[in-house]
Amino acid sequence: TKIDWDAYMSQVQKILYSE
């Protein structure tokens, strides 16, 4: 779903920026 995707991308961005 759209919301699931937003939540997923949010976590991915957090990990990418955390590097």
Q: How far is CA 16 from CA 1, 4, 8, 9, in A?
A: 22, 18, 12, 10
Buried b (16+ CB within 10 A) or exposed e, 1-19: eeeeeeeeeeeeeeeeeee
**How would residue 14 be classed by pLDDT, with cut points 50, 70 and 90?**
very high
Task: Give the confidence band of 8 by pLDDT, cuts at 50, 70, 90.
Answer: very high
pLDDT of residue 3: 87
Handedness of CA 8, 6, 3, 1 (dihedral sign): negative
Report the distance separating Cα 2 and Cα 18, nearest Å: 24
In the predicted model, is pLDDT for residue 16 greater than 90?
yes
Model confidence, pTM: 0.15
Average pLDDT over residues 1-19: 92
